[in-house]
């Protein structure tokens, strides 16, 4: 039952975000913020596929234990593409609110992203092992959480100051995604049921993409 439900959910999720991303690139590509948003959505979907496709295969065949290496490599790729997702979202913020300067904020985004990717690449993560250390899961997610917090603050302030109704909940989608993700990092190995929080976390990302897509339709009529 889990295999069927989870596989169907993942197929719908990946198809939705990649399709919306491609539509944004094609229909809103002449506007920088929507071009970036479309690339961001495609990056999200394609990156997650590296982990979700092996997971679906594992659940529907011989089990997760048989796909440990593939799942680990998929998680590594997803970790890097999720970092790229937030970097792109930062530039969506700059484009939408016509932000200039702010070199210190840009530097913070790139420094946190660089640290995150560097930590993800460290062999101590033991991505292909069935006994990956929790400590490194925490280390690599500290700069990631700080990056997410920074993006939350930027979108919250700008949407409020500009009265931007289309993006008024962008900050909330990010808060929810991290709110569901952090317990999985900390407790999923000890309490596997906690891993179910990845479903609402995924829904939060779909909401993020839908905010951009709906804004494009509203503002460009496409």
> For residue 18, what is the domain's CATH number?
1.20.1070.10
Distance (Å, rounded) from C-alpha 167 to C-alpha 22?
20
Per-residue pLDDT reduced to its tens digit, 60-108: 888 878 888 999 999 999 999 999 999 999 999 999 999 999 999 999 9
Sequence-distant (≥ 6) Cβ neighbours of residue 197 within 8 angstroms: 180, 181, 183, 184
Burial class (CB in 10 A: 0-12, 13-18, 19+), 166: middle
Phi and psi at residue 112, in whole multiples of 5°?
-60, -40
The pair of three-digit structure tokens given for residue 123, joined into one six-digit string: 């062999």
Q: How many domains does the chain have?
A: 1
Confidence category of residue 222, pLDDT binned at 50, 70, 90: low
Q: Is the pTM of this model over 0.85?
A: yes
* Domain assignment of residue 44, given as a range: 2-220
Within the chain, residue ranges assigned H as helices are 2-28, 32-60, 68-96, 103-121, 134-162, 170-187, 198-220
Distance (Å, rounded) from C-alpha 44 to C-alpha 23?
15
């Amino acid at each position: 039952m889990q295999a069927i439900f989870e596989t169907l959910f993942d197929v719908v999720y990946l198809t939705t975000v990649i399709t919306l991303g491609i539509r944004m690139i094609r229909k809103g590509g002449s506007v920088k913020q929507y071009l970036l948003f479309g690339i961001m959505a495609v990056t999200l979907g394609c990156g997650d596929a590296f982990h979700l496709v092996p997971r679906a295969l594992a659940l529907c065949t011989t089990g997760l234990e048989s796909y440990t290496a593939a799942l680990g490599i998929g998680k590594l790729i997803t970790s890097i593409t999720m970092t790229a997702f937030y970097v792109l979202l930062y530039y969506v913020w700059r484009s939408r609110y016509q932000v200039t300067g702010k070199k210190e904020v840009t530097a913070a985004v790139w420094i946190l992203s660089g640290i995150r990717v560097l930590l993800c690449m460290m062999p101590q993560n033991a991505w292909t092992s069935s006994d990956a250390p929790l400590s490194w899961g925490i280390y690599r997610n500290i700069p990631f959480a700080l990056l997410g917090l920074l993006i939350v603050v930027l979108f919250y302030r700008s949407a409020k100051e500009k009265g931007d109704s289309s993006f008024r909940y962008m900050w909330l989608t990010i808060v929810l995604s991290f709110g569901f993700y952090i317990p999985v990092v900390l407790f999923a190995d000890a309490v596997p049921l906690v891993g179910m929080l990845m479903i609402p976390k995924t829904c939060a990302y779909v909401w993020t993409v839908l905010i951009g897509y709906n804004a494009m339709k509203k503002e460009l009529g496409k």
